[in-house]
């Protein structure tokens, strides 16, 4: 049972934690990093869940065993998603092992961990072939900057893959507002503009509701007058 102070809205359907998280995400996406950080500090709510922060730290530090352990311990996630996430981690792990000349470690991961995942076998075979091609091309040591960028990309891919509440869906607040406005455009009888997107404003939705209420009231008054 949710505490009433943790719920927002007249019907108590909005979780305060999730509401603040999507606001913080939006602020970061718009480039207002200072405001986002201040909101995190003042609310005590972090945009990223503790589990994802741990995963982020492990990936950026190349702690692949830790990554695997964290992903296996995450709750509320279907096996298919977990296996796909593990595949992404192992792919990065293999690439780094090969670039450092640790062929035996890479082969061990490929045979004992990647091969046992319940993912599309074509993806596994494609990964193995790609690694062999890289090996044949005598892949050299990858620059630290490239490694950092690849690890960051892995984090971005995992953010898109892992389900809420572990991560917040990308551009969540924008999507919710846009969906509301689109629904209003499709259903509002007072939207007479030939191109409503040209003059669309969020507060117009309230005007629409007001107009509808006024029209209904006028109709009721007319009906009462005719009855008398």
**146/223 same-domain check:** no
Do both 56 and 157 map to the same domain? yes
Percent of the chain with pLDDT over 90: 31
**What is the C-alpha to C-alpha distance for residues 44 and 120, in angstroms, rounded to an integer?**
41
pLDDT at 222 over 50: no
| pLDDT averaged over every residue in the chain | 78
pLDDT at 48 over 70: yes
**How far lies 108's CA from each of 61, 97, 116, 124, in Å?**
21, 11, 12, 14
Same domain? 14 vs 73: no
Residues 161-187 have pLDDT tens digits of: 999 888 887 788 888 888 877 777 777
Are residues 126 and 23 both part of a single domain? no
Residue 183 lies in a domain: yes
Cα distance between residue 97 and residue 73, in whole Å? 25
User: Would you say residue 58 lies in a domain?
Assistant: yes
Asked whether residue 166 is domain-assigned, the answer is: no
Residue 151 has pLDDT above 50, yes or no: yes
Residue of higher predicted confidence among 94 and 190: 94
Let me know if residue 14 belongs to a domain: yes
Phi and psi at residue 8, to the nearest 5° = -125, 165
Same structural domain, 156 and 196: no
Based on the number of CB atoms within 10 Å of its own CB, is 200 exposed (0-12), middle (13-18) or buried (19 or more)? middle
Whether residue 155 is found in the same domain as residue 139: yes
* In the predicted structure, residue 51 carries a pLDDT above the cut 70: yes
Which is higher by pLDDT, 164 or 59? 59
C-beta separation of 96 from 147 below 8 A:
yes
Q: How many CB atoms lie within 10 A of CB 154?
A: 21
Q: What is the mean pLDDT of residues 87-91?
A: 91
User: Same structural domain for residues 39 and 56?
Assistant: no
Cα angle for residues 216, 177, 215 (degrees, 5° grid): 10
Q: Is the same domain home to 121 and 182?
A: no
> In this structure, are 155 and 67 located in the same domain?
yes
Q: Which pairs with CB-CB distance under 8 Å and at least 24 residues apart come from 26-34?
A: 26/171, 26/172, 26/173, 26/174, 29/171, 29/174
pTM: 0.69
Instruction: Provide the residue range defining the domain that includes 18.
Output: 4-43
Is 216 within a domain?
A: yes
**Dist CA 111 CA 102 (whole Å):** 15
Please tell me whether residues 185 and 121 are part of one structural domain. no
Read off the pLDDT band of 157 (50, 70, 90): very high
Q: Is the peptide bond before 225 cis (omega within 30 degrees of 0)?
A: no
Residue 19 included in any domain: yes
Same domain? For 67 and 141 the reply is yes
What is the count of structural domains for the chain? 3
Does residue 123 sit within a domain? yes
pLDDT band at 224; cut points 50, 70, 90: very low
Same domain, 54 and 36: no
Answer yes or no: is pLDDT of 113 > 90: no
Q: Over the stretch 135-149, which tens digit does the pLDDT of each residue have?
A: 544 555 567 788 899
Asked if residue 167 belongs to a domain, the reply is: no
pLDDT exceeds cutoff 80 at 92: yes
What pLDDT is recorded for position 65?
Answer: 92
Q: State the pLDDT confidence band at 37, using cuts at 50, 70 and 90.
A: very high
């Amino acid at each position: 049972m949710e505490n009433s102070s943790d719920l927002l809205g007249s019907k108590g359907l909005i979780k305060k934690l999730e509401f603040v998280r999507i606001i913080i995400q939006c602020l970061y996406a718009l480039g207002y990093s200072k405001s986002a950080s201040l909101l995190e500090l003042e609310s005590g709510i972090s945009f990223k869940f503790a589990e994802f922060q741990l995963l982020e730290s492990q990936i950026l530090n190349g702690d692949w065993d830790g990554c695997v352990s964290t992903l296996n311990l995450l709750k509320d996630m279907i096996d298919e998603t977990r296996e796909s996430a593990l595949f992404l981690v192992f792919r990065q792990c293999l690439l780094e092992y090969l670039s450092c000349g640790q062929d035996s470690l890479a082969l061990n991961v490929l045979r004992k961990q990647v091969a046992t995942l319940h993912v599309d076998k074509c993806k596994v075979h494609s990964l193995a072939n790609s690694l062999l091609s890289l090996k044949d091309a005598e892949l050299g040591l990858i620059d630290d900057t490239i490694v950092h960028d690849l690890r960051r990309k892995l984090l971005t891919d995992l953010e898109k893959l892992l389900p809420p509440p572990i991560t917040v869906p990308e551009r969540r607040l924008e999507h919710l507002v846009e969906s509301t406005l689109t629904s209003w455009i499709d259903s509002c009888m007072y939207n007479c503009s030939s191109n409503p997107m040209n003059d669309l404003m969020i507060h117009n939705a309230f005007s629409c509701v007001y107009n509808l209420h006024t029209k209904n009231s006028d109709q009721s008054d007319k009906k009462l007058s005719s009855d008398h």
